Amino acid sequence: MKASGKPTINDVARIAKVSKKTVSRVINKSPLLSEKTRIQVEKVIADIGYVPNPQARALALRRNFIIAAIHDNPNAQFLVNVQQGILEGIAGTEFGLMVEPVDGSSPSIVEDIRGFLERQRPYGVVFLPPISENDELAELCDSLGTRYVRMVSGELDDPQHIVMSNDREAVYEAVRHLIAVGHEKIGFIEGPESLSPAERRAGYEQAMTEAGLPIHDWMIAKGRYTFESGVEAGLSLIDGKDRPTAIFASNDEMAIGAVIAARRRGIEIPRGLSIVGFDDTPLSSHIWPSLTTVRWPIVEMAKAAATKIIGGEDVDPNLGVGLASTFIERGSVVAPPRS
Amino acid sequence: MKASGKPTINDVARIAKVSKKTVSRVINKSPLLSEKTRIQVEKVIADIGYVPNPQARALALRRNFIIAAIHDNPNAQFLVNVQQGILEGIAGTEFGLMVEPVDGSSPSIVEDIRGFLERQRPYGVVFLPPISENDELAELCDSLGTRYVRMVSGELDDPQHIVMSNDREAVYEAVRHLIAVGHEKIGFIEGPESLSPAERRAGYEQAMTEAGLPIHDWMIAKGRYTFESGVEAGLSLIDGKDRPTAIFASNDEMAIGAVIAARRRGIEIPRGLSIVGFDDTPLSSHIWPSLTTVRWPIVEMAKAAATKIIGGEDVDPNLGVGLASTFIERGSVVAPPRS
DNA sequence: TTGTAGGCGTTATCAC
DNA sequence: GTGATAACGCCTACAA
């Protein structure tokens, strides 16, 4: 009939001489279909180049074929890596990726996200740290029937709802490396309160304790994952009671802040102070000296998250749960200065 | 009736004792409506907390309430800034942001994007550089009736379809600054072929020519906007026929590459070589020495792009077309060494 | 200025 | 296994 426009399910049904519903069954791979009918319909679909209309499906199914990444302003590289991972996970499917930033410190965050979910009705959402640690958001998704996966560093939900890496172990290894090289006074720049930083600190403490090294107050400084806070924390460690010979920072940005802090005090890196970061942002290999760091499997985690959302029950609930961080040696660590 | 679920247009119509269509008119701010009816209906809408269902509208209107950012792998900070700008532009509306990466070098790029547009039917799309310079994509959008805005550096489309900044002028200013400080041999690291780099080079040439300075082959090197290509280009300039005393790089990543290249040759920055970047990525202020650079109004451009798409005819077609880049002085430029 | 009928393209229900 | 028929929630055309 209509010469214009894309073919619809009606066209397929008419040409194949079956009902719309039968075509629908073919599209959705319904098991109760005769092989004969299926092949016949599939041929027509291929012939006329029919593609199901996602908007119509969205209306009927009450959910869009979209995965949303919900985040609270993490750093750019992290966000882009997550996006890349999700996109890899949905490549070749009909799914698309949406990005929804929120204000993690807002008291209305749950209502904000509820509004978003009710409006766009994404098929599923991926929560990025640090808001991924908010249990209320998980409950919200449950109550709305929206699938979700949280990117976290601890087992704070059922396996099918999380992807995580072994931060603790990675930090443990990094600090052990510092100790092996000869460091004893090792400073630690922590992230803001939440689970992920706690895991990192646990790795630090484990390595120190195992080596019989004391952990003093003046060896710990707090940051906010930003460059500026890294400078501040670095200065406070350097100017503290007893200057550490090495510093582990909970992310690269703060590590670079610490590098700058050291320069301000006339300390040469790495000869006067060794520094280790965490994340392996591209940044870390572009500065001088290049930063020894821990690579976080962000892309893989995000890809696993997308796969879990799309796959639903059919996918191994433990996918992406034990992803390994790896220690990367570069130029910012050497033996401590002779004392 | 139905106790469960969200209120629909039918509920509003029933309670307000008007027809669905009248409610629809209120939602869409139709001008032909009596003030009385409008207020009455709006009261009911507020009372029962009715929110129009985007999926249903999408089906009826044949377009989703989504703006898509289509890009070919620019750097992370740039991409995130664009996303932030678009999100600012759609804040408070029912629109959402989708991200669609494509392979700019693929011969099937037009078909790839056509598939995406036909599938997701975004309300409009924003093309990021460098693929924003591909005219075929603009034609594709026209033929599909999809609104689009291109982020570019030259007037290669009607004003309503572009947002741009004055790259040429900004580079001109930066190079003039180098000349004013005393530099005469000024190297230039170019981006890959396309319009945006050409504008930047034009600014460079204008400044040099005006000052009566010669431009030699060995003063120009080509990069690919990546850190690695910046290192290569930096080395080629440093090892070339006559070493420049200053280098302008067409983006920050390459500028930082050039810094590293200088270090490899034992040249101290900025005393031995001044360097200017372009973009003002956060990176540029975090390295040592901090990078003198040009700030590109990326967020503003992206916000303007979103506003133009949503606003349609009602918005000034010249919005976001003349955005100013600004020269930012930091620590990587000093007078050239005495010869 | 407002209402009625019908369509957008798909899926769900429930007979056959 | 398969097919009418009715949702899904909104919008357009046309009539009143």
pLDDT for A237-293, tens place per residue?
999 999 999 999 999 999 999 999 999 999 999 999 999 999 888 888 888 899 999
Note whether A62-165+297-325 and A167-296 share their fold.
yes
Closest CA to A113 of A265, A103, B25, A123: A103
pLDDT in tens, chain B (339 residues): 333 467 888 888 888 888 888 899 898 888 878 888 888 888 998 888 888 888 899 888 888 899 999 999 777 888 999 999 999 999 988 899 999 999 988 999 999 999 899 888 899 999 998 899 899 999 999 988 899 999 988 888 999 999 998 889 999 999 999 999 999 999 999 988 776 678 899 999 999 999 999 999 999 999 988 899 999 999 999 999 999 999 999 999 999 999 999 999 999 999 999 999 998 888 888 888 999 999 989 999 999 999 999 988 888 999 999 898 889 999 999 999 876
Chain B interface mutation, best of A112, A120, A125, A290, highest count of B Cβ atoms under 10 Å? A120
Do A263 and B288 lie within an 8 Å CB cutoff?
yes
CB A12 within 8 A of CB A44: yes
Per-residue pLDDT tens digits for A78-114 = 899 999 999 999 998 889 999 999 998 899 999 999 9
Of A73-77, A207-211, A312-316, B244-248, least confident by mean pLDDT is: A73-77
CB A120 within 8 A of CB A112: no
- Mark residues 36-55 of chain B whose C-beta is closer than 7 A to nucleic acid strand C: 36-38
More confident residue, A226 or A217: A217
Residue B298: predicted pLDDT = 93
Closest CA to A274 of A238, A327, A239: A238
Do A288 and B260 lie within an 8 Å CB cutoff?
yes
Tokens standing for residue B251: 């983006």
Find all residues with CB under 8 Å of A121, minimum gap 6, and list them: A58, A62, A63, A64, A146, B54, B55
Tokens standing for residue A1: 């009939």
Q: How many CB atoms lie within 10 A of CB B339?
A: 6
Q: Residue A27, CB, less than 7 Å from strand C?
A: yes
Find all residues with CB under 8 Å of A337, minimum gap 6, and list them: A245, A271, A272
Average pLDDT over chain A, rounded to whole?
91
Alpha-carbon span B194 to B130, nearest angstrom: 7
In this structure, chain A runs to a length of 339
pLDDT of A74 > 80? The answer is no
Closest CA to B77 of A81, A208, A92: A81
SS3 B163: strand
Amino acid letter at A191?
Answer: G
Distance, Å, A62 CA → C2 C1'? 31
Task: Give the domain ranges of chain A.
Answer: 1-35, 62-165+297-325, 167-296
Closest CA to A291 of B287, B282, B251, B226: B287
SS3 B167: helix
Residue B92: predicted pLDDT = 87
A12 CA: nearest nucleotide by C1': C9
Distance, Å, B17 CA → D14 C1'? 22
User: Least CB-CB distance to B59: which of A56, A118, A119?
Assistant: A56
pLDDT of A188 > 50? The answer is yes
What positions of strand D are covered by protein, i.e. any atom < 7 Å from a CB? 1-13
Domain B167-296, CATH among 1.10.10.10, 3.40.50.970, 3.40.1010.10, 3.40.50.2300: 3.40.50.2300
Residue B118: predicted pLDDT = 86
Closest CA to A172 of A301, A289, A278: A278
pLDDT of A163 > 60? The answer is yes
Q: Residue B22, CB, less than 7 Å from strand C?
A: yes
Residue where the block lists tokens 């060494």: B337
What proportion of chain A, given as a percentage, has pLDDT over 70? 97
Q: What are phi and psi of B262, to 5 degrees?
A: -60, -45
Residue A82: predicted pLDDT = 95
Q: Residue A52, CB, less than 7 Å from strand C?
A: yes
CB A181 within 8 A of CB A335: yes
Tokens standing for residue A233: 């924390």
User: Least CB-CB distance to A120: which of B6, B96, B288?
Assistant: B96
Mean pLDDT of A19-33: 88
Residue where the block lists tokens 């808001």: A131
> By CA distance, what is B49's nearest residue in A?
A115
- CATH for A62-165+297-325 is 3.40.50.2300
CB B167 within 8 A of CB B200: yes
Q: How far apart, in Å, are the Cα atoms of A318 and each of A155, A160, A323?
A: 11, 7, 10
